[in-house]
Amino acid sequence: MTLIEERRLVEVRNVRHHYGKAGGDLLVLDDVDLTLFDNEIVGLLGRSGSGKSTLLRSIAGLIAPTSGEIAFPRGPDEPATTVSMVFQSFALFPWLTVQQNVEVGLEAKRVAPAERRRRALAAIDLIGLDGFENAYPKELSGGMRQRVGLARALVVDPSILLMDEPFSALDVLTAETLRTDLLDLWSEGRMPIKSILMVTHNIEEAVLMCDRILVFSSNPGRVTAEIKVELPQPRDRQDPAFRALVE
Ligand code: ADP
Ligand code: MG
């Protein structure tokens, strides 16, 4: 029994999503239910075309579900939840430098230029791109491009990070390095992120990174099973009780 009730950060309830006009439409999500708690990394595993990206885009607020509810519970004094997203294809602007791409993350917010620059450089530094501020995406490797994608997501100090197959466009070694770096930042508490929801096709990656794995069925997409990962997860390794056991 836990003494403190687990805090819910995201509640997806009965979400349906159609593409196209009524008649010839495609039902992609059907009655999706999903809860994201504080301090967890959750994996979303499912076939291609099952609606995982659609679900993430809905949670990010990039599209509106046809029906259902996506809520971000918070206390009365807490600021609105900030959600950031990282894309498989990086989604960088090729005509902008690394720093400019990261500053795009702040565009919707009214942040003064000096502050924008300060925050962009801090995010670039955090993610290991120090010295590449003025480079263009085409001058960077895939791994570095995805670091730019991560910096752009982190620059707004999100509490929820959504990642849509963030490592699948990268070779195995690059993916592993980036995963490890991200997990280090997470376990050391160097990002303000409270929880991560990540789509992946890679079950090994899901087991290594996630506290829970949600299995997504297709036609239409829905969460049909949950796997709890019982391995010590990155955050637990910082726990004094866990350390006492292993040290
Ligand atoms: P996944 O990420 O699981 O591969 P997606 O959410 O990308 O699945 O897509 C789910 C289904 O919705 C697919 O059949 C896809 O072709 C379709 N789809 C995705 N985006 C759109 C769109 N903007 N307009 C019409 N159909 C779409
Ligand atoms: Mg997808």
Sheet of 222-228: strands edge to edge? 83-86, 160-164, 195-199, 40-46, 212-217, 222-228
What's the pLDDT at 5? 65
Pocket test for ligand 1, best of 15, 48, 53, 56 (most atoms within 8 A of CB): 53
Pocket of ligand 1 contains residue 49 by CB under 6 Å? yes
233-to-37, 183, 226, 228 alpha-carbon distances in Å: 15, 9, 17, 11
Q: Are 122 and 170 in contact (CB under 8 A)?
A: no
> Is pLDDT at 237 greater than 70 in this prediction?
no
The pLDDT tens digits for 179-227 are: 999 999 998 989 999 999 999 989 889 988 999 999 999 888 999 999 9
Integer Cα distance of 170 and 151 in angstroms:
17
Integer Cα distance of 12 and 32 in angstroms:
7
Percentages helix, strand, coil for the chain (3-state, rounded to 5) are 30, 25, 40
The model's pTM: 0.91
Mean pLDDT of the chain: 90
What's the pLDDT at 110? 84
235 band by pLDDT with thresholds 50, 70 and 90: low
The pLDDT tens digits for 20-74 are: 865 558 999 999 999 999 999 999 999 999 999 999 999 999 999 999 999 999 9
Question: Hey, whose CA ends up nearest to atom 11 of ligand 1?
Answer: 49
What's the pLDDT at 36? 97
> Is pLDDT at 115 greater than 80 in this prediction?
yes
Return the structure tokens found at 186.
Answer: 């997470």
What's the pLDDT at 4? 55
CB contact set of 140 (below 8 Å; sequence gap of 6+) = 98, 132, 148
Pocket test for ligand 1, best of 16, 17, 19, 89 (most atoms within 8 A of CB): 19
Q: What is the mean pLDDT of residues 103-124?
A: 92
Q: How many A from CA of 245 to the centre of ligand 1?
A: 46
Q: Which among 227, 243, 247 has a CA at the least distance from the CA of 235? A: 243
Q: What is the mean pLDDT of residues 123-139?
A: 97
Question: Hey, whose CA ends up nearest to atom 6 of ligand 1?
Answer: 51
Enter the ipTM: 0.98
What's the pLDDT at 6? 81
75 band by pLDDT with thresholds 50, 70 and 90: confident
What's the pLDDT at 144? 97
Q: Are 206 and 200 in contact (CB under 8 A)?
A: yes
Integer Cα distance of 20 and 99 in angstroms:
37
CA dihedral 107, 90, 220, 40 (to 10 degrees): -80
Pocket of ligand 1 contains residue 54 by CB under 6 Å? yes
Question: Hey, whose CA ends up nearest to atom 23 of ligand 1?
Answer: 19
Better-scored residue on pLDDT, 241 or 123: 123
